[in-house]
Amino acid sequence: MAAVKSAIIAERRSQKLQRLQAGQVKRRTAAEGLRESEDAVLRDIPAELHPIWNKVRGRIKGSSRRSRAEAFMQWVEENFGEVVALQQVKQERAMFKQSRMRKTKAEVAAELASVPF
């Protein structure tokens, strides 16, 4: 009985090795799988939630019954306050960056020309 089991296991291993050598089976690394999963989520969620996804993607896990996109959308519903807070932080940063931008020489000259003195 044990000899039959070991023969079957050896045969399966040799078949798998032959398929790998022939290029029929492609190996996928964990990093490739994660990138594919994240690309699928970005395709499945609305564009305005992409920045939120980038902040929390490490916390969102899928399962055999539910994709990561579905899990993320459920997280958004359950944590709406956190989503709004993250969006406000992004807007505040954009406003701060806009206010810190330097004006061009043409813009400064136009402002000075409009001053009536």
Assigned domain for 19 exists: no
pLDDT at 94: 82
pTM of the model: 0.58
Number of domains the chain is built from: 1
pLDDT at 45: 94
pLDDT at 24: 63
Assigned domain for 5 exists: no
pLDDT at 25: 61
Assigned domain for 13 exists: no
Assigned domain for 73 exists: yes
Assigned domain for 95 exists: yes
Domain of residue 89: give its range. 28-103
Instruction: Tell me the average confidence (pLDDT) per consecutive run of 10 residues in the chain, 117 residues long.
Output: 84 80 72 89 93 91 90 94 88 80 82 84
Specify the long-range contacts of residues 64-71, CB closer than 8 Å, at least 24 apart. 67/40, 67/41, 68/37, 68/38, 68/40, 68/41, 69/40, 69/41, 69/44, 69/45
pLDDT at 97: 78
